[in-house]
């Protein structure tokens, strides 16, 4: 149906870009054709050392999602707004692959971490940046 969001692009939907390297998580319902997305990245480097500057606000472990096989952190500093139409195109035509959705409790932890993370982009005066305000508005509009 025209105008309706892709049924998979809802909070908790996960996907891999064509490189297959970092799991991406949709945080919000679509609002005016946009959604908020974060990705995971490995907590440790190839030598088993914790990566300098790793955001430890939310760390996911093996078993939190089928794709996760080692400790990974939510990379809030790289959170972004994505255009629904472009993401649907990437899933259909550019090699992005759908993964299993996050369980509700894990999703809530990831969503809540956006507010708590010191890496979440904020305006220079400390007020919420565009992405954080978008997420707040999206969550308030859906209950």
If you write DSSP's letter for every residue of 62-92 in order, what string do you get? TTSSTT--S-EEE-GGG-EEEEHHHHHHHHH
pLDDT tier, 51 (very low <50, low <70, confident <90, very high otherwise): very high
Please state, in angstroms and rounded to a whole number, the distance separating the CA atoms of residues 16 and 26: 11
What's the chain's average pLDDT? 88
**What is the tally of structural domains in the chain?**
1
pLDDT tier, 17 (very low <50, low <70, confident <90, very high otherwise): confident
Q: Cite the beta strand spans of 3-138 per DSSP E.
A: 14-16, 24-26, 34-42, 59-60, 72-74, 80-83, 97-99
Residue 2 lies in a domain: no
Please state, in angstroms and rounded to a whole number, the distance separating the CA atoms of residues 119 and 26: 18
Residue 82 lies in a domain: yes
Residue 8 lies in a domain: no
Whole-structure pTM value: 0.89
Tell whether the model's pLDDT for residue 116 goes beyond 50.
Answer: yes
> Domain span at residue 83?
14-142
Residue 6 lies in a domain: no
Residue 5 lies in a domain: no
Residue 84 lies in a domain: yes
Tell whether the model's pLDDT for residue 18 goes beyond 70.
Answer: no
């Amino acid at each position: 149906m025209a105008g309706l969001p892709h049924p998979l692009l809802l909070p908790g939907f996960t996907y891999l870009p064509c490189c297959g390297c970092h799991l991406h998580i949709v945080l919000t319902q679509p609002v005016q054709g946009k959604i908020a997305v974060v990705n995971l990245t490995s907590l440790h480097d190839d030598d088993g050392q914790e990566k300098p500057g790793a955001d430890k606000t939310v760390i996911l472990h093996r078993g939190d999602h089928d794709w996760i096989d080692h400790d990974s952190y939510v990379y809030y500093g790289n959170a972004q707004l994505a255009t629904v139409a472009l993401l649907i195109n990437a899933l259909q035509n550019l090699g992005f692959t759908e993964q299993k959705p996050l369980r509700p409790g894990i999703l809530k932890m990831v969503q809540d971490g956006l507010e708590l993370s010191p890496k979440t982009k904020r305006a220079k005066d400390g007020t919420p940046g565009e992405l954080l305000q978008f997420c707040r508005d999206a969550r308030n509009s859906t209950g």
